[in-house]
Structure 1
Amino acid sequence: MLQLFKKYSVVIRFIAVFLGSYFLLSVLYNSYLIYSEAQTEFYPDFFTNIVSRQSAAIMEFMGYSIKLEAHETESAIKVFIEDAFLVRVVEGCNSISVIILFVSFILSFFAKKRTTILYILGGSVLIYAMNLIRIALLTIGVYEYLEYTNLMHEIIFPLIIYGTVIILWISWVRVYANLEKNEDQV
């Protein structure tokens, strides 16, 4: 049994670090969401609120008249273009869950501290920015091409955000492999 653990120690370490960091970050995020229920300044929570406002700024920059409004019955921000209610931005739209998934994977292949932290920060910013653009384009797409709403929301835009994460993961594994190879040569 000990030989199996030694043989697969890298895989076991990966799984343990991934699951452990994912669990810890998810618990922290869930605690934040529970705490956010009590505050009213940034409805429904700070990150969802700020993502809604930043996405609205992108759409306004593109020439659309945007109005945001707290949803009456859901924890969501309603987004209007030209006074037409189009989409709701809910907690699941703020990219934090995707960033947690990304960070957990990167931590599973922890390399040099500085390199890993910079990659996590850079990748998280890229995912966040891609998400803002995704929400803005999805809202405009619903406004301009209502008949394609399900295709855009269920297929195209998840492909963009998760595709970004997968490309970042693949890039990190390559960076990690090169760092490991360089350390072995030293």
Structure 2
Amino acid sequence: MFRFFLIFLAVQATLFGVEMLQPVQQAIVDPWTGIVAKASAIVVHLFDPSVISYGRVLQSAQTGFGVSIEPGCNGVEATIVLVAAMLAFPSSWKMKAWGIGLGFIAVQFVNLLRVVSLFFIGQWNLEVFEFAHLYMWQALIMLDVLVVWLLWMRVVARQDRGAAKPVAA
């Protein structure tokens, strides 16, 4: 357990450190944030055709209300926590790769729901928006990371049990 915790912290520190570097921000994080804004606009457009996105901003052309997807709201940090947990947990590299790939998709899907819901909540009530943005969705994104990690660990444990079964002669 102590080994897991040390590896988890070291991987997180490394990945967060790399993520904060300006070249990484410009080459990966900023373009990814723009993709999140565009994907959110596609979903919102199903319900509000007046939505536009530019850069990291999602805005209603009708009401003028908009949300800017800032660092911490693009799913990158939550993904880093998940990746660190999966890399720290003892399993095969194949299982880690599958877990990270599917986990990334799960975190980004929930983050897309987050951005879309905050866009609509913000147009409805700014006080509820602030609560949902600062507290509710922060907790839900981390809960998503925890649930994905726990489900992945369960699959890893099943695979390990299956591999440990003796073969009958």
Matched length:
165
Residue in structure 2 matched with residue 54 of structure 1 by the alignment: 39
Structure 1 contact 111–176 (Cα < 8 Å) conserved: yes
Write out aligned runs for 1:56-135 (5 A).
56-69=41-54, 77-81=56-60, 82-135=62-115
Equivalent residue for 1:19, pick from 1, 5, 9: 9
Structure 1 contact 48–89 (Cα < 8 Å) conserved: yes
Distance 2:41 2:136 in 1: 20
Distance 1:181 1:155 in 2: 39
Larger deviation: 92-101 or 169-178? Answer: 169-178
Structure 2 contact 12–84 (Cα < 8 Å) conserved: yes
Equivalent residue for 2:121, pick from 141, 144, 159: 141
1:169 lines up with 2:159 in the alignment: no
Q: TM-score, normalised by structure 1?
A: 0.77
Distance 2:38 2:123 in 1: 18
Larger deviation: 90-99 or 175-184? Answer: 175-184
Q: Which runs of 5+ in 1 are unaligned?
A: 1-10, 71-76
Distance 1:141 1:183 in 2: 48
Q: CA RMSD in A?
A: 2.4
Runs of 4+ in 1 over 4 A off after TM superposition: 36-39
Equivalent residue for 1:151, pick from 117, 126, 131: 131
Structure 1 pair 178–145 and aligned structure 2 pair: CA distance change class (3 A):
same
Displacement of 1:177 in angstroms is 2.5
Equivalent residue for 1:178, pick from 120, 143, 158: 158
Identity of aligned residues (%): 22
Structure 1 pair 38–67 and aligned structure 2 pair: CA distance change class (3 A):
same
Structure 1 contact 103–120 (Cα < 8 Å) conserved: yes
**Secondary structure at 2:160's aligned position in 1?**
helix
Distance 1:93 1:112 in 2: 31
Structure label with greater radius of gyration: 1
